[in-house]
Each structure stands twice: as structure tokens, then as C-alpha cells.
Amino acid sequence: MGAVAPEGTTGAVAAARSEGAEDAGGSAGAGGALPLVEVDIGAGPAGRVREASLLLREILDLTVDLEADVGSELDVNRRDFEAMQHLVMSGPLSPTEIARRLDVSTAAATLIVDRLSAVGHVTRQPHPSDRRGVLVVPNPASVDRAMARILPLISGVDRVLDDFTGEEQGVITNYLAGVVGVYRAQLPPQIG
């Protein structure tokens, strides 16, 4: 009988876990390497990946779901929420900088700022050093609402590391740094 995927596991990850666990026996293979799990990657023949790779895919999917949920709570669409994230993390930005970060035209950025302003998430204020410029300033109450949802996630993820020794945390960090490097290598230089 196949293994049961943990509650909340989605799509291909759950299927691959239940099918792969049966084949792999759920333990490390020769030399301590984790077993490979058969997974249909959608284009071409099925591939074999480790469960950690499947879990990273699941994290990406859950991140999209969480961002959609927080955006919905803030009454903004996905692109507007992306702009809000930049404002929350960086503080006031010019509309031109928002356009650059979102990789949209300045006209599109203006529409995003208009929508955020209409629901009270941002204000436009004169730029302190450019008399013709404006800065888009996040509303502190909106930042607080967003952070009330995001900070528990950040803290919870960080607390998971408490279950590992310092050496194991180093291995995890090295693995994740390698994954970041693989992602960056797939992007044009100006984005990564």
C-alpha cells in the first residue's frame, strides 16, 4: 500500500509522494542520498527528483496562494499586492521605481498607484529632493495589516530551523543558497 501524503499537500507533490514513497521505501538510499521520486514534469518524459525538490515546488505554490489570500484581504489584485510588497519592504518609492521593480510601463505603474490610493493603501507625497517628483508612501495601517499576516509566517519558518543542529542549519543554508543560485542563473542579469 502506498504512503499517504501529509494533509494539505497539493497536486503533483502529493501524487509523487504517495507513489514515490512506495518505490523508495521512505528511507535514504545508498551513501545516505535521499531516494528519487518519479514525477511528471508536464513537458516530455517523466523525471526523477528528490522529495526536497518537490517540497520547494510546493512552497512556491503555497506562496502564490498566500499572496493571493493576503491581497484579497487587502482588497487588491496580485500586481497591486506586488507593488505593496515593494513599498512595505523598501518604504516610499517613486512611480518610476515601482514601474522598474514590477517591470511595467510608467503608465501601468500610475494605474497601480491610483488603485492603491483609491483603497487607502498609499498616498502620494512631494519628493523631498526633486521638486517635480512624487513619492508613493505606504499607509502605516495597511503595512500593519499586511505584516500581521506575513510576520507569523516569517517567524514560523525561522523557528523550524530550531529543530536542527548548527551544522544541519549550515547544510540547509548551503542548499537553499544553491537553489537561489540556480534560480538566478535562469533570469536575465538585470533581474537576478
∠ Cα 157 82 144 (to 5°): 65
**Residues 90, 126: one domain?**
yes
Residue 42 confidence class, pLDDT cut points 50, 70, 90: low
pTM: 0.66
**According to the model, what pLDDT value does residue 163 have?**
97
**Residues 104, 119: one domain?**
yes
Does position 28 have pLDDT exceeding 80, yes or no? no
* Residue 170 lies inside a defined structural domain of this protein: no
**Residues 16, 34: one domain?**
yes
* Residue 177 lies inside a defined structural domain of this protein: no
**Residues 20, 67: one domain?**
yes
**Residues 82, 127: one domain?**
yes
**Residues 90, 136: one domain?**
yes
Does position 30 have pLDDT exceeding 90, yes or no? no
Residue 140 sits in a domain of what CATH number?
A: 1.10.10.10
∠ Cα 158 182 24 (to 5°): 75
* DSSP sequence for the chain: -PPPPPTT--HHHHHHHHHHHHHHTTS--GGGPPPEEEE--SSSS-EEEEHHHHHHHHHHHHHHHHHHHHHHHTT--HHHHHHHHHHHHH-SB-HHHHHHHHT--HHHHHHHHHHHHHTTSEEEEE-SS-TT-EEEEE-HHHHHHHHHHHHHHHHHHHHHGGGS-HHHHHHHHHHHHHHHHHHHHTS-TTT-
Q: Which of 22, 57, 73 is the last residue of a domain?
A: 73
> Could you count the other beta carbons within 10 Å of the beta carbon of residue 167?
8
pLDDT tens digits, one per residue of 100-157: 999 999 999 999 999 999 999 999 999 999 888 999 999 999 999 989 988 999 999 9
The whole-chain average pLDDT of the chain stands at 82
- 80 in Cβ contact with 116 (< 8 Å): yes
**Residues 39, 80: one domain?**
no
Least confident of 5-14, 62-71, 96-105, 129-138: 5-14
**Residues 67, 21: one domain?**
yes
**According to the model, what pLDDT value does residue 33 have?**
62
* Residue 169 lies inside a defined structural domain of this protein: no
**Residues 91, 105: one domain?**
yes
Higher pLDDT, 29 or 175: 175
**According to the model, what pLDDT value does residue 144 have?**
93
**Residues 51, 113: one domain?**
no
Residue 25 confidence class, pLDDT cut points 50, 70, 90: very low
**According to the model, what pLDDT value does residue 24 have?**
42
Q: Which domain holds residue 37?
A: 1-73
**Residues 3, 69: one domain?**
yes
**According to the model, what pLDDT value does residue 188 have?**
86
Does position 23 have pLDDT exceeding 50, yes or no? no
Number of domains in the chain: 2
Higher pLDDT, 88 or 13: 88
**According to the model, what pLDDT value does residue 126 have?**
93
